[in-house]
Amino acid sequence: LLHILDHLKGSGVERIVVVVGYKKELVQSLCSKIPGVTFAEQKEQLGTAHALLCAETELKDFQGSVIVACGDVPMITSETFSNIVKQHKENEFSATVLSAVVEKPTGYGRIIRNSSGEVTAIVEEKDSSAEEKLINEINTGTYVFD
């Protein structure tokens, strides 16, 4: 989590809302020393979309794009965060998902695209068909929303 927070700050993000639940006190004590970090509580872990809803109060006066990033995603750098926001703004997207092509996609949500290359769905491993399990493009759990 600290790795992700460091890279968010390194990409120029000034305000970060950390959604806490499991081991809330530990997470808050680790992250509270970082300038610009506030917290929102997710009492039940009901997924990323629910976590974003839990952060709504902390974001109510915020204007601009919101980055959603899971705290356990490896290999994400400041440059990656900067690039995804840049692409999001340059293309005037309302939603952007960061995907990755990996050799062994087991355990990850798969990115489903139409014939034009547009993302049409993200299917979690447990919900994927045998055909979808063959897809090597995965959801990294990193998004930008307007």
Tens digit of each residue's pLDDT (9 = 90 or more) over 89-145: 999 999 999 999 999 999 999 999 999 999 999 999 999 999 999 999 999 999 999
Enclosing domain of residue 33? 2-145
CB 134 within 8 A of CB 108: no
pLDDT digits (tens, 9 = 90+) for 40-89: 999 998 988 899 999 999 999 888 899 999 888 878 999 999 999 999 99
Please, which pLDDT band fits residue 14 given cuts at 50, 70 and 90? Answer: confident
- Residue 91 has a pLDDT of 94
What is the count of structural domains for the chain?
Answer: 1
Closest to 95 measured CA to CA, from 43, 55, 145, 50: 145
Q: What is the CATH number of the domain that holds 32?
A: 3.90.550.10
